[in-house]
Copies of this chain bind each other. A is one copy, B any other.
Amino acid sequence: VDVSFIPALRAIVGATHILEDADLRRAYETDWTRRYHGSTPFVVRPGNTDEVAAVVAACAGAGVSLVPQGGNTGLVGGGVPRAGEVVLSLTRLNTLSPVDAVGGEVTVGAGATLAQLQQHVRAAGWNFGVDLASRDSCTIGGMIATNAGGIRVIRYGAMRHQLVGIEAVLANGQVIRRLPGLRKDNTGYDLANLLAGSEGTLAVVTAARLRLIPQLPSRAVALLAVPHTAAALAVTASVRAGTTGLEAAELFFSEGVELVRRHAGLPAPPVGTSPAYLLLECAAPANAADELSSALSTIDLPTAFATEARQREGLWAYRERHTEAISAEGIPHKLDVALPLDRLAEFEGRVRQHLREAVPEARPILFGHVGDGNIHVNILGLDPDDDRATDAVLQLTAELGGSISAEHGIGVAKTRWLHLTRSPADIAAMAAIKSALDPRGILNPGVIFGMSALRE
């Protein structure tokens, strides 16, 4: 990057918001998985949308590439620099507007964290439909750019489904802005939905109007010992058809529960040991326990039931503590795939054998959001750069009609496998859209399409 470029940016954001010092840059150059890192000449931290637009316009004019970054909690290397790009940090755009109680909506800056949003809307008597373990760090802009999911997609959808308006800066520095909060708006192409999940390659999200959900005080959790994935799917389908409050349906296995118990010192699950476990949560204005127990009344499987908060947390612990227990054993390969629901049991049944044949030392630990067909395949015992396990898992996913990225995105981690589940026609259409909106390829180059694609 031409250093003569820096004074122009200083004039836009102020000297204190350009970070050139290596110590200050470091946190922006490496992602939290420790797998992805690069170097940036400097980090720019604009304080509002106009400044973002001016920075992007200046970069576009100089032909300088940008990597937009929120809370830097991505898992596929899409938010850290790769080849000397400028890092555009959005964390100062953290405004939270008052909650619109009539519409049940709120406007929020891209840099606000999920936890800040949650705290803000809960104080006003509402809740937000997406929740993630990284809530204290992940930002709303990053969650939109990656279309973040989490455990409640089964009920409320992913980030794109919460969007009722967006503000973003295009690669030419122009601002698109639709923030009034329109639940119905059929006036041309839905740019908000196009940007959701585009991983910073089409525009820089600066703010969003989000729908809120009611606070549901009545909650019930059931933990079931299930013999296998097919049984978990059948129970989930039955509960889904018999309730309207199903909010989570989590599947995990003895391999993970043993690890969690050892790591966290937990007793055996109250349903005993089992090859697989299904955790269900229902939430409603009232009587969630009646709804869930009635939906489970015909199911003859060992079941533990909890309504009181601490008991519910006790059942959830077997699932929620997977991530920390796995990380305590080493740096895992985290593969996040989705299968059509009618192929999920087959995938789960075959993937361990498939891995064993490809990489005998691989140690897989699976868990997932079974209602969405989403399985997180965590693999221990591998070198971080060993792609054989990734190859084996993603090939099997593609063979069964699945998606090689359910929630995390493509980033730079999965560009080599994109062709497995997106056809040449799909990829050509995506590349045409990318070229149309970012002809010089300055926004997050290398992400989704790979470094060799799309540059002039």
Residues of A bordering B, CB below 8 Å: 100-105, 125, 146-147, 149, 153-154, 157-158, 160-161, 170, 174-178, 180-191, 193-194, 196-198, 202, 214, 216, 233-234, 237, 240-245, 284-286, 291, 294-295, 338-343, 369, 371-374, 401-410, 414, 418, 421-423, 425-430, 432-433, 435-437, 448
B187 touches A403 (CB 8 A): yes
> Which residue in B184, B194, B243, B405 is a CB contact (below 8 Å) of A186?
B405
A214 touches B197 (CB 8 A): no
9 more CB-based (< 8 A) A-B contacts, given A103-B373, A184-B406, A244-B285? A147-B186, A158-B184, A174-B429, A180-B402, A186-B408, A187-B422, A190-B196, A214-B242, A242-B285
- List, in ascending order, chain B residues with CB within 8 A of A429's CB: 170, 174, 176, 189, 191, 437
A100 touches B342 (CB 8 A): yes
With both beta carbons as reference points, the residue of chain B lying nearest to A400 in the complex is identified as B180
CB pairs A–B below 8 angstroms (6 shown): A153-B183, A157-B161, A187-B403, A188-B422, A214-B240, A285-B291
A425 touches B176 (CB 8 A): yes
A71 to chain B, nearest CB (A): 17
With both beta carbons as reference points, the residue of chain B lying nearest to A447 in the complex is identified as B188
Give Cα A18 to B158, complex, Å: 44
Top 10 A-B pairs ranked by shortest CB distance?
A436-B436, A103-B341, A180-B401, A184-B406, A174-B425, A193-B193, A432-B436, A185-B403, A183-B372, A180-B340
Give Cα A181 to B371, complex, Å: 12
B410 touches A188 (CB 8 A): yes
Give Cα A45 to B146, complex, Å: 40
- List, in ascending order, chain B residues with CB within 8 A of A184's CB: 149, 153, 158, 338, 369, 372-374, 403, 406-407
With both beta carbons as reference points, the residue of chain B lying nearest to A174 in the complex is identified as B425
- Once A102-B342, A186-B147, A418-B187 are accepted as A-B contacts, the answer to whether A432 and B437 lie under 8 Å apart by CB is yes
